[in-house]
């Protein structure tokens, strides 16, 4: 694979799957706080 394609793959996959993971982690954290309250 060319370097350009690899960078694009890293960015798109990182943004979507990485972003989704971060959002889920935040939601998990907030749920934990709500349940402890």
Partner 1 sequence: MDRQRHDRRRAFGNSSETVGRQGPPQRPGVPLGRKMVNRELLEQFTSRWALLISMVGIAVGTGNIWRFPRIAAKYEGGAFLIPWLVFLFLWSIPIIMMEYSMGKGTRKGTIGAFGRLIGPRYAWMGAFVGLVSTAIMFYYSVVNGWCLRYLVLALSGSLQGLTADGARDMWNELIHGYQPVFFHFLSMAAGTLIVYRGVIGGIEKANRIFIPSLLVLLLVLLGRAVTLPGASGGVQAFFTIRWEMLLDYRIWLDALTQNAWSTGAGWGLILTYAVYMRPGEDTVLNSAITAFGNHSVSLIAGIMIFATVYALLPLQAREVLSEPGPLNTGLAFIWIPQLFSKLPGASLFSILFFLALFFASMSSLISMIELAVRLLNDAGIRRRRAIPVVGALGFGMGIPSALSPSFFLNQDWVWGVGLIVSGALMSFAVLRFGVCRFRESYINAAGNDLAVGRWYDVLVRTCIPVEVAALIAWWFWVAAQADPEGWWNPLRVESVGTCLFQWGAALVILLALNRWIARKTLGE
Closest separation between CB of residue 25 and partner 1, Å? 11
Cα diameter, the chain: 51
Total residues belonging to the chain: 37
User: Which is closer to partner 1, CB of 1 or CB of 36?
Assistant: 1
Residue 25 makes contact with partner 1 by CB under 8 A = no
Residue 14 makes contact with partner 1 by CB under 8 A = no
SS3 37: coil
Where along the sequence are the contacts to partner 1 (CB under 8 A)?
Answer: 1-2, 4-6, 8-9, 12-13, 15-17, 19-20, 23-24, 26-27, 30-31
């Amino acid at each position: 694979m060319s370097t350009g394609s690899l960078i694009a793959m890293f960015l798109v996959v990182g943004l979507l799957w990485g972003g989704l993971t971060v959002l889920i982690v935040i939601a998990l954290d907030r749920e934990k706080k709500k349940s402890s309250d």
